[in-house]
DNA sequence: TAGATTGTTAATCGATTAACAATC
DNA sequence: TAGATTGTTAATCGATTAACAATC
């Protein structure tokens, strides 16, 4: 979870990218890195890199040497809340839902999927990728007992709105929607649409720009 | 595929959102909609809505009535290239890869996954969600024969860089990376990282902002 | 007609980039 | 020392929002 307020969305979105890049360099055995090198490898502006890093870390870079990799990685992980676990439930234990239950990134990101919920009795009571699959009747109890703040929606698009309302009724305050479906929700609910169409549009534009 | 050049990334990312919302309203039987209503439901500024729509469509809104839903939907779909199919290959027919092969959104978005590639002989030659799974040896041939421009990476992060290089060697020019791994690539390759960590950070910030 | 809504121009806001003195 | 690199201030760029005449 993010703990400081004064951060632009643009910077926030870039931080996980720095983290992956820096982790890579640390694995290769480097101990320091300069903003100019980061900028070149990530196709960014070096001043932007320094400003972004300064938002997440108070560690000073050393002229000539650059920044300490381990300190930088630690501070960005702290800033992004990777060391502070948040609980989530997942709605819809289909193919995409099952894949997310086993997604190797989430544990690193501080996201813990407590349980999945599915209306199919054949999977209820079973475990998928180590996560229990339960009937929706148990949602409210699980949310309360585990202080779950995030609901992940991986049902078919025709059920997404209904499932979102069920989540809100159960006490969820943040929704991560993987269904290709617009959700009409009250303003006090945080919503992030995992937008495959938008991602594809961005990739297409990059391809187009390379040709023109 | 996107066909016009002068568009900001901010607008581009919002367009698929409009599309989902407008499609919903059309399904409900509406024929016209005003930018003020769109703005309210999507938590945006009405002027921004009008400017965004004007980028994708030349259809004029009518004072008092608003915009024609069917015309708007048609134009945005055209603009985003949903009617112009692009071919892709998918690397790694594991859980996430299999889920993407069956993702209901892609066909609507104009993305056609031609085939998947996996090193596991047990799945080679089989079909997953209707898509053939092949050995990597056939990648170059498939890319050339089908004019494939996009490669989707759903292998484990430790193989992502290597797979990206294989894709580039086969002639791919755009990469959609679902592995939580930084890729070091030449500038002439278009890359879109599907960044779960960034999405989670955005959702966390929204939750945080609601509390403060 | 009266009023809601559009499209556009101007003003504001915020993010990126350039310039540069400080420093290891 | 000389030079690469940092952190910060100022300038630029672009996106968002406000204001408002035109119009159905």
Q: Which of A172-176, A202-206, B38-42 has the lowest mean pLDDT?
A: A202-206
Nearest Cα residue to A190 out of A94, A88, A104: A88
Confidence of residue B166 (pLDDT cuts 50, 70, 90): very high
Q: Is B195 within 8 Å of A5 when comparing Cβ atoms? A: no
Please, which residues have CB within 8 angstroms of residue B122's CB and are 6 or more apart in sequence?
A: none
User: If you average pLDDT over residues A72-81, what whole number do you get?
Assistant: 94
How long a stretch of residues is chain A? 212
User: In terms of pLDDT, which residue wins out, A4 or A208?
Assistant: A208
Per-residue pLDDT band for A171 (boundaries 50, 70, 90) equals: very high
Burial state string for B48-81 with b = 16 or more CB within 10 A and e = fewer than 16:
bbbebbebbbeeebeeeebbbbeebbebbbebbb
Residues of A in contact with B174 (CB under 8 A): 203-204, 206-207
Q: What Cα–Cα distance (Å) separates residue A119 from each residue in A36, A98, A180, B187?
A: 52, 14, 20, 47
Collect all residues with Cβ–Cβ distance below 8 Å to A63 and sequence separation of at least 6.
none
Confidence of residue A77 (pLDDT cuts 50, 70, 90): very high
* pLDDT attached to residue B5: 59
**Predicted pLDDT at B144:** 97
Q: Which residues pair with B67 in a beta bridge?
A: B33
What is the tens place of the pLDDT at every residue in A53-71?
999 999 999 999 999 999 9
Give pLDDT tens digits for B140-161: 999 999 999 999 999 999 999 9
Is pLDDT of B3 > 80? Answer: no
- Using the Cβ of B24 and the Cβ atoms of chain A, whether some distance falls under 8 Å is answered with yes
Looking at residue B4, what is its pLDDT? 58
- pLDDT of A184: 92
Average pLDDT over chain B reads: 94
Q: What is the pLDDT of residue A4?
A: 59
**Distance of CA B18 to CAs A80, A139, A180, B85, B158, Å?**
29, 31, 12, 21, 37
Tell me which of A128, A182, A187 to substitute to probe the interface with B (most B C-beta atoms closer than 10 Å).
A182
Q: Which of B99, B157, B187 is facing A99, going by the closest CB pair?
A: B99
Residue B131 has pLDDT above 80, yes or no: yes
* Token reading at A154: 């991986």
The percent of residues above 70 in pLDDT, for chain A, comes to 97
**Average pLDDT over every residue of B26-53:** 96
State mean pLDDT over A26-50: 96
CB distance B101 to B114 below 8 Å: no
Q: Residue A1 above 60 pLDDT?
A: no
Out of B15, B181, B192, the one facing A199 most closely (by C-beta) is: B192
pLDDT band at B128 (very low <50, low <70, confident <90, very high): very high
Q: Residue A2 pLDDT more than 80?
A: no
The gap between B47 CA and C11 C1' (Å) is 14
Average pLDDT, stretch A204-212? 83
What pLDDT score was predicted for residue A46? 97
What is the pLDDT averaged over residues B51-70? 94
Split at pLDDT 50, 70, 90, the class of A86 is very high
User: Would an 8 Å CB–CB cutoff place A65 in contact with chain B?
Assistant: no
pLDDT of residue B187: 86
| β-bridge pairing A86-91 and A150-153 | parallel
Lowest-pLDDT choice from A124-133, B48-57, B199-208: B199-208
Q: How confident is the model at residue A187 (pLDDT cuts 50, 70, 90)?
A: confident
Question: What's the whole-number mean pLDDT along residues A173-190?
Answer: 94
- Among B24, B108, B174, select the one facing A182 at the smallest CB separation: B24
pLDDT of residue B209: 81
CA-based radius of gyration for chain A: 20
**pLDDT on residue A5:** 59
Nearest residue for D24, CA–C1': B63
- Interchain CB contact of A208 with B (< 8 Å): yes
Q: Please tell me the distance from the alpha carbon of residue B138 to that of residue B158, in angstroms, as a whole number.
A: 22
Chain A residue numbers touching B17 (CB-CB < 8 A): 182, 193, 195, 198
Residue A10: which nucleotide is closest by CA–C1'?
C15
Q: Reply yes or no on whether the pLDDT at A3 is more than 80.
A: no
- CA distance to A42, A51, A145, A175, B193, per residue, from A45 (Å): 9, 10, 46, 33, 19
The two counts, helices (H) then strands (E), for chain A are: 9, 9
According to the model, what pLDDT value does residue A105 have? 85
Dihedral sign from CA coordinates of A27, A29, A31, A35:
negative
Instruction: Give the C-alpha distances (Å, rounded to integers) separating B73 from A178, A203, B83, B212.
Output: 22, 21, 12, 37
Alpha helices in chain B (DSSP H): 9-27, 35-42, 46-56, 69-80, 95-101, 104-109, 139-145, 157-169, 196-211
Q: Decide if A162 touches B, using CB distance below 8 A.
A: no
Q: Is the CB of B64 under 7 A from strand D?
A: yes
Structure-block tokens of residue A32: 């320091």
pLDDT band at A91 (very low <50, low <70, confident <90, very high): very high
For residues A135-156, give the mean pLDDT.
97
pLDDT computed for residue A6 by the predictor: 78
What is the structure's pLDDT at A211? 79
Tell me the pLDDT of chain A averaged across its residues: 94
A6 vs B: CB within 8 A: no
CA pair distance A16, B90, nearest whole angstrom: 24
Q: Which residue has the higher pLDDT, B103 or B89?
A: B89
């Amino acid at each position: 979870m993010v703990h400081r307020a004064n951060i632009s969305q643009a910077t926030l979105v870039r931080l996980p990218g720095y983290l992956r890049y820096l982790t890579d360099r640390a694995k290769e055995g480097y101990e320091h890195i300069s903003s100019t090198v980061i900028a070149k490898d990530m196709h960014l502006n070096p001043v932007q890199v320094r400003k972004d890093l300064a938002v997440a870390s108070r560690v000073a870079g050393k002229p000539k040497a650059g920044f300490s990799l381990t300190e930088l990685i630690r501070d960005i992980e702290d800033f992004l809340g990777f060391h502070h676990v948040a609980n989530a439930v997942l709605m819809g234990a289909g193919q995409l839902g099952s894949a997310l239950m086993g997604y190797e990134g989430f544990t690193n990101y501080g996201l813990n999927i407590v349980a999945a919920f599915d209306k199919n009795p054949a999977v209820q009571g079973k475990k998928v990728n180590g996560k229990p699959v339960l009937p929706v009747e148990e949602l409210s109890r699980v949310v309360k007992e585990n202080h779950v703040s995030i609901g992940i929606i991986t049902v078919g698009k025709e059920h997404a709105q209904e499932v979102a309302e069920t989540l809100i009724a159960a006490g969820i305050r943040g929704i991560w929607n993987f269904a290709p479906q617009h959700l009409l929700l009250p303003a006090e609910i945080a919503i992030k649409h995992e937008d495959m169409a938008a991602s594809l549009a961005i990739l297409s534009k990059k391809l187009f720009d390379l040709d023109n």
